[in-house]
Copies of this chain bind each other. A is one copy, B any other.
Amino acid sequence: MAGPVSPLAPAAFPALPEIAGVRFASLAAGVRYANRTDVMLAELAAGSAVAGVFTRSSTRSAPVRDCEAKIGAGTSRAAFLVNSGNSNAFTGAAGERSVAEICAAVARATGIDEGRVFTSSTGVIGEPLPHERIVAKLDALNAALDPSGLEGAARAIMTTDTFPKGAAETVTIDGREVKIAGIAKGSGMIAPDMATMLVYIFTDARHDQPRLQGLLREITDRTFNCITVDSDTSTSDTLLMAATGASGVDATGNDDFAAGLERVMLDLAHQVVRDGEGATKFVEIRVTGAASETDARKVAMATANSPLVKTAIAGEDPNWGRVVMAVGKSGAEADRDRLSIRFGDILVAENGWVSPSYSEEKAAAYMKGQEIVIAVDLGLGAGEAVAWTCDLTHRYIDINADYRS
């Protein structure tokens, strides 16, 4: 199933700093894959605040439900345990038992309270998770814990991602440095799975837990919730963040910290789009002039999700008529005669029609690039939004119309 690396992949995996207060281990447990790591453990020192944002799917998986129940204000030692190969989603009561077995085993191996063990699973759905294979590896995982293991963890959580995803920032607070580093997986596919996104972010800053939870949710709305590959929502999407406090620097309420965290999250979100199934172009949809921010977001997401817009981009066709269509169907207030559309710097349409200055030749040349910006100004108000997506290509069909096995 492993395809070629996405043409939009970064040149190399970034150098991620060690984060004081976290150790990582990853191993091959044979959950589904052969010859690769598929389980990772992160151990968080005492003092760590843990926050999380999860899929809103009403059929979300057993591990997601368990994490949701555990997120809270405690700061005792904690652990993240993630497996790939099986998502433990739609597995009935057996799914909940698997989560409980894994949490108990992590607790036994590490001495961490079960209530502070957060698990995620990604991969095939509807098949019982062979949790005993994970349980059997926990002593080895615990023995292998190492502060430098974050890149290995990024690789262990991949499903059909074509590259591992990581990002990091250093922020100075009152003259002292704190570090933020994160990893992600998505939008790879293991049929019959869907494009699950998992994200884990770590910082050595200290942070109030309820405010970290609020910050994470707010930034998620501007980053991970602004990307789309195919409009389908996973039953397993999970973002977990730990602030270990090991640096001794409190980042609660610090704007530079929030900005650094947002850069890490946006970088990871963009990498997920760059690994979108079959993607050959990275597309930014910028909407301005909407009657409200909600309207701007509707237009941005309607455009980013439109199969007709996405296939036109795959065909390198500056097909602005399809952008007009997407604006029209979005449900946002729009006025044909105030709308303007740009492809990159090229003004395509204004005053209800194609611009007199428009050159199809220039626009077609622009569409041959790998990074496409489509800007829509609605001319009505101050509402703005951005969405990121990729093109819709034959390879998306290849990947997703392939029979599972």
Q: Could you tell me which A residues sit within 8 Å of B by CB distance?
A: 55, 57-60, 89-94, 124-126, 191-195, 230-235, 305-308, 311-312, 314-317, 319-322, 324-330, 332-337, 339, 349, 351-354, 364, 392-394, 396-397, 400-404
Contacts and interface: CB of A to CB of B under 8 A. Distances in A.
A346 to B, nearest CB: 15
Given A353-B94, A397-B393, A191 B319 contact: yes
Q: 9 closest pairs, A vs B, by CB?
A: A59-B328, A57-B328, A92-B353, A315-B401, A233-B329, A311-B400, A92-B352, A192-B321, A125-B321
Contacts of A94: 353
A187 to B, nearest CB: 11
A90 to B, nearest CB: 5
Contact of A401 (B312, B321, B400): B312
Oligomer: number of copies: 2
Contacts of A306: 231-232
Contacts of A404: 317, 319
Contact of A232 (B58, B192, B315, B326): B326
B232 A401 contact: no
Contacts of A333: 58
5 contacts: A58-B328, A59-B325, A192-B321, A194-B322, A317-B401
Contacts of A337: 92
Given A192-B322, A329-B57, A394-B394, A90 B308 contact: no
A54 to B, nearest CB: 12
Nearest to A335: B58
